[in-house]
């Protein structure tokens, strides 16, 4: 009996040490270059031991994505595997001889890309100067509640001033497009963490949440649209109104980019159930027009010649026209590709070279445009929703925003809110899409700037909200 017990114990120790060795090889930061057509994308995988298990996170600096949590992590003696369901992507690796290198295939939406990675032993995460540090003069509560309509759960953080038995005006922060965490972590910055910290210090309860399929929130972003995100916001508003520390008559929405569009749609429906909305770089023009302008502005900023910018715009315009005409969502990836392929072939070789357009790239673009979120987004016109908004509105854009151009979008918001009695507009000089004081003001610069969110805008939001929370 004793002999059998000893043997079993030794076996457990052997298995445990073997698992630890496998994990130990995988733990750390791995870096590589993913070649997509003629574009090089830097990818970093961070494998960490957390709460007795392994988690992996992905950074894609060239796409301004940081800290994307992988859904699954599997390690063995030969390598590790990760899966990121939100991007329909998998990466299977196996170690090379020195075990500080690994290679494998990155598979995304049916396309395979070879990817070799190497351990970065000198990696240090960036911490930006505005990121708040403890101790905090407010309470932070981890929350989880249900969107009953969608049968999903929403996880987030509610920060509340530390004054017991008092009800506070409340703010819900709504992130922009993409799968964002509760801090709206983009390019290593955490603007929602900065905003929540600032406003909770000024007497507001602030709720920031993980998007569907991210962090503590359930749901499938692959099949979700802007309309679905509106139901998440409504569920969050209901949660705030029911919270013991919140004044239910003083709930505000603060939406950034697509989050601003979601705030507009929600406010149009809830009418005076909201005390006000703050629109940070929100769309005011039809979305297909905004996307055309956005694409042209970004490639123009890269120094592209005007003839190529026109070629790209003409090409994209036909894309969006086909999608707008598809009223019943019957258009398929294959049909769209067949429609666009002759147009690609007709482009001069110099234009295709300059714009990095290829048949493989066209297929990827067709896949992206046929995703439920994009199919729905392209068809949205904010104007009819703006006309129904009855609550107070603060609309702000940065003058250097090349994703949501300040001029046309602020003007469209102003025109369509003319019947509203309490509207404030502001175009702030020198700020980009994330409201940073920028230099080159390119998309790539977001992560290079030390500032996360302009202090003068934090103060302006604070003053506007306090005045309407009285």
Question: Over the stretch 66-79, which tens digit does the pLDDT of each residue have?
Answer: 888 888 999 888 88
Contact by Cβ (8 Å): 210, 182: yes
CA atoms of 462 and 195, how far apart (whole Å):
10
- Is 16 inside a domain boundary? no
Question: What is the per-residue pLDDT across 173-205, written as a single tens digit (0 to 9) for each?
Answer: 999 998 899 999 888 899 999 999 999 999 999
Contact by Cβ (8 Å): 219, 213: yes
Question: What is the per-residue pLDDT across 366-409, written as a single tens digit (0 to 9) for each?
Answer: 998 999 999 999 999 999 999 999 999 999 999 999 999 999 99
CATH number at residue 231: 3.40.50.1820
Q: Does residue 188 share a domain with residue 100?
A: no
Q: Does residue 450 share a domain with residue 464?
A: yes
Q: Does residue 421 share a domain with residue 273?
A: yes
CA atoms of 183 and 401, how far apart (whole Å):
21
pLDDT of residue 354: 82
Alpha carbon distance, N-terminus to C-terminus of the chain: 76
- Is 240 inside a domain boundary? yes
- Is 226 inside a domain boundary? yes
Number of domains in the chain: 3
Last residue of a domain, one of 119, 152, 168: 119
Q: Does residue 296 share a domain with residue 216?
A: no
Q: Mean pLDDT in the chain?
A: 90
- Is 11 inside a domain boundary? no
Residue 349 burial (CB count, 10 A): 7
Contact by Cβ (8 Å): 320, 293: no
Q: Does residue 279 share a domain with residue 302?
A: no
CA atoms of 352 and 310, how far apart (whole Å):
13
Last residue of a domain, one of 347, 377, 407: 377
Q: Does residue 292 share a domain with residue 273?
A: no
- Is 276 inside a domain boundary? yes
CA atoms of 176 and 220, how far apart (whole Å):
17
- Is 100 inside a domain boundary? yes
pLDDT level of residue 23 (50, 70, 90 thresholds): low
Q: Does residue 112 share a domain with residue 76?
A: yes
Q: What percent of the chain has pLDDT over 90?
A: 67
- Is 274 inside a domain boundary? yes
CA atoms of 139 and 9, how far apart (whole Å):
46
Q: Does residue 271 share a domain with residue 171?
A: yes
CA atoms of 402 and 389, how far apart (whole Å):
26
Antiparallel, parallel or unpaired: β 53-60 and 65-69: antiparallel
CA atoms of 107 and 360, how far apart (whole Å):
14
pTM of the model: 0.83
The two tokens of residue 462 are 């604070």
Is it the case that residue 464 has pLDDT exceeding 70?
Answer: yes
CA atoms of 284 and 382, how far apart (whole Å):
6
Q: Does residue 358 share a domain with residue 408?
A: no
- Is 461 inside a domain boundary? yes
CA atoms of 149 and 74, how far apart (whole Å):
34
Residues in the chain: 470
Q: Does residue 458 share a domain with residue 334?
A: no
What DSSP state is assigned to residue 261?
H
Q: Does residue 269 share a domain with residue 173?
A: yes
Mean pLDDT of 74-93: 88
What DSSP state is assigned to residue 124?
-
Contact by Cβ (8 Å): 77, 94: no
> Of all helices (H) and strands (E), which one includes residue 256?
strand 246-256
CATH number at residue 97: 2.40.128.120
Please tell me which residue, 100 or 15, carries the higher pLDDT value.
Answer: 100
Domain that holds residue 354: 288-377
- Dihedral of CA atoms 242, 246, 248, 251 in degrees, nearest 10, equals -120
Q: Does residue 394 share a domain with residue 354?
A: no
């Amino acid at each position: 009996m004793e002999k059998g017990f000893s043997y079993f114990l030794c076996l457990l120790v052997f298995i445990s040490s073997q698992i630890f060795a496998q994990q130990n090889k995988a733990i750390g930061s791995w870096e590589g270059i993913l070649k997509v057509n003629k574009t090089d994308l830097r990818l970093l995988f961070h494998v960490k031991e957390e709460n007795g298990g392994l988690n992996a996170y992905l950074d894609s600096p060239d796409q301004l994505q940081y800290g994307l949590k992988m859904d699954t992590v599997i390690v063995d003696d030969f390598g590790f595997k990760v899966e990121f369901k939100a991007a329909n992507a998998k990466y299977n690796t196996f170690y090379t001889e020195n075990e500080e290198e690994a290679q494998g295939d990155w598979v995304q939406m049916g396309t395979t890309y070879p990817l070799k990675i190497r351990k970065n032993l000198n990696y240090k995460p960036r911490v930006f100067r505005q990121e708040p540090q403890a101790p905090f003069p407010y309470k932070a509560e981890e929350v989880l509640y249900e969107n009953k309509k969608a049968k999903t759960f929403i996880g987030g953080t509610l920060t509340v001033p530390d004054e017991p038995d008092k009800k506070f005006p409340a703010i819900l922060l709504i992130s922009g497009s993409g799968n964002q965490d509760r801090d709206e972590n983009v390019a290593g910055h955490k603007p929602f963490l900065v905003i929540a910290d600032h406003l909770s210090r000024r007497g507001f309860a602030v709720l920031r949440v993980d998007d569907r399929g991210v962090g503590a929130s359930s749901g499938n972003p692959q099949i979700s649209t802007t309309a679905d995100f509106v139901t998440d916001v409504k569920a969050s508003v209901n949660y705030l109104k029911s919270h013991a520390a919140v004044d239910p008559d003083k709930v505000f929405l603060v939406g950034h980019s697509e989050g601003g569009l979601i705030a507009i749609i929600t406010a149009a429906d809830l009418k005076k159930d909201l005390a006000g909305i703050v629109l940070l770089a929100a769309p005011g023009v039809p979305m297909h027009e905004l996307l055309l302008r956005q694409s042209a502005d970004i490639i123009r900023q890269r120094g592209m010649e005007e003839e190529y910018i026109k070629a790209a715009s003409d090409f994209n315009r036909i894309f969006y026209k086909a999608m707008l005409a598809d009223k019943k969502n019957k258009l398929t990836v294959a049909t769209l590709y067949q429609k666009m392929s002759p147009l690609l072939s007709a482009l001069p070789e110099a234009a295709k070279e300059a714009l990095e357009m290829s048949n493989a790239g066209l297929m990827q673009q067709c896949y992206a445009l046929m995703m439920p979120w994009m199919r729905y987004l392209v068809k949205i016109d904010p104007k009819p929703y703006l006309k129904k908004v009855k609550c107070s509105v603060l609309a702000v854009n940065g003058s250097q925003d090349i994703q949501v151009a300040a001029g046309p979008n602020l003007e469209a918001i102003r025109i369509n809110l003319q019947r509203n009695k309490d509207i404030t507009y502001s175009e702030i000089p020198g700020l980009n899409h994330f409201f940073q004081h920028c230099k080159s003001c390119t998309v790539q610069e977001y992560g290079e700037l030390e500032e996360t969110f302009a202090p003068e805008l934090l103060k302006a939001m604070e003053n506007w909200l306090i005045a309407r929370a009285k």
